[in-house]
């Protein structure tokens, strides 16, 4: 397997969120710094803290979390481990989901709830403003425009620097942009799940950062003898590393945030930034999925 000893996130290149927040394109997702079902404290807190510290050492400058991870556990752990944050590190968090138990997620987009969620994140992260605050998921019981309007108010008040969306359609992005500038979109997207292809293409055209969640999925593509397996063997890499490299090659606005609570797994993920895929590799992977 490719290792990270000689590599860092810097190999992934830089993207400027909102044109004024430069981050290394390969970031870190902090959802897994929690218990089973993204609920409660992690089994090994010290391993999680070591992973966060190692991410920064390896040049990661975008750390993505949410108030619902735990809930509150991920944000608390990030602050306890890294605050005061290095000046080049961007902490992105989200509001708009509530938890009633392991693996249970419910959307709440009421403006008054979102304000309370933001204040909680500011307190836990020990920040006076959040650089990138994302609406976690549209709430079918609250008009989308009302929810986005709350984010616009937070930005006007200086509590957040930039607004991002998550789990949205192109139409919803366009609706939101009529209310407030949108600098990132975070949707599920990976080698085997291209349902948000139109969203990615839209973000590419508009210069909006696209943060794919669940980026490591490879499914049957990783079976022995598959196209992905052959490419991975040629590059002396893991299939998951090729999946990350594919995302980085897919568009210059893609910002993968693979998550883990293991230093060794983190190092393997970051090493993917140095992998070079050819046009033939990209075409072969596209054909394999099709």
Report the alpha-carbon distance of residue 19 to residue 16 in Å, rounded. 5
Active-site residue list: 69
pLDDT of residue 221: 87
Give residue-wise pLDDT tens across range 81-101: 999 999 999 999 999 999 999
Give residue-wise pLDDT tens across range 131-152: 999 999 999 999 999 999 999 9
Task: Return the structure tokens found at 276.
Answer: 């070079």
Name the CATH superfamily for 9-216+251-260: NADP-dependent oxidoreductase domain (3.20.20.100)
Q: Which of 69, 54, 64 is nearest to 7 (CA)?
A: 54
Report the alpha-carbon distance of residue 155 to residue 16 in Å, rounded. 18
| Full-model pTM | 0.96
Task: Return the structure tokens found at 115.
Answer: 């304000």
CB burial class (10 A; 0-12, 13-18, 19+) of residue 280?
exposed
> How far lies 127's CA from each of 59, 85, 152, in Å?
21, 9, 19
Assign residue 276 a region (left: φ > 0; alpha: ψ between -120 and 50; beta: otherwise): beta
**What letter does residue 276 receive in the DSSP assignment?**
-
Q: Which of 132, 209, 142, 131 is nearest to 173 (CA)?
A: 209
- Under the banding of pLDDT at 50, 70 and 90, the label for residue 181 is very high
Report the alpha-carbon distance of residue 114 to residue 155 in Å, rounded. 13
- Under the banding of pLDDT at 50, 70 and 90, the label for residue 27 is very high
For residue 50, how many C-alpha atoms fall within 13 Å in the half-sphere facing its CB?
A: 10
- Under the banding of pLDDT at 50, 70 and 90, the label for residue 4 is very low
Q: Which of 75, 281, 286 is nearest to 194 (CA)?
A: 286
185-198 average pLDDT score = 96
Task: Return the structure tokens found at 240.
Answer: 């998951």
Q: β-pairing, 130-135 with 62-64?
A: unpaired
Position 260 pLDDT exceeds 70: yes
Q: β-pairing, 14-17 with 21-24?
A: antiparallel
pLDDT of residue 118: 98
Task: Return the structure tokens found at 73.
Answer: 């556990």
pLDDT of residue 5: 44
Give residue-wise pLDDT tens across range 237-248: 999 999 999 999
């Amino acid at each position: 397997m490719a290792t990270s000893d000689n590599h860092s996130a810097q190999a992934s290149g830089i993207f400027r969120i909102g044109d004024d927040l430069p981050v290394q394109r390969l970031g870190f997702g902090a959802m897994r710094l929690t218990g089973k079902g993204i609920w409660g404290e992690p089994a090994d807190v010290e391993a999680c803290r070591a992973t966060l510290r190692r991410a920064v050492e390896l040049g990661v400058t975008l750390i993505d979390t949410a108030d619902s991870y735990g809930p509150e556990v991920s944000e608390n752990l990030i602050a306890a481990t890294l605050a005061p944050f290095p000046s080049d590190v961007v902490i992105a968090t989200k509001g708009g989901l509530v938890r009633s138990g392991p693996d249970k997620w419910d959307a709440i987009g009421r403006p008054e709830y979102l304000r309370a969620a933001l204040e909680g994140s500011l307190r836990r992260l020990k920040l006076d403003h959040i650089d990138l605050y994302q609406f976690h998921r549209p709430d079918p019981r609250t008009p989308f425009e009302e929810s986005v309007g709350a984010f616009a108010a937070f930005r006007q008040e200086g509590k957040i620097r930039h607004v991002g969306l998550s789990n949205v359609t192109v139409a919803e992005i366009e609706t939101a942009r009529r209310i407030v500038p949108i600098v990132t979109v975070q949707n599920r997207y990976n080698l085997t799940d291209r349902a948000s292809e139109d969203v990615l293409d839209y973000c590419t055209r508009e210069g909006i950062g696209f943060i794919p969640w669940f980026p490591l999925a490879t499914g049957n593509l990783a079976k022995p003898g598959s196209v992905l397996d052959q490419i991975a063997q040629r590059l002396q890499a893991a299939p998951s590393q090729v999946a990350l490299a594919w995302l980085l090659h897919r568009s210059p606005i893609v910002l993968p945030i693979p998550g883990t609570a293991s230093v060794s797994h983190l190092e393997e993920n970051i090493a993917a930034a140095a992998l070079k895929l050819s046009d033939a590799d990209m075409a072969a992977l596209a054909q394999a999925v099709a």
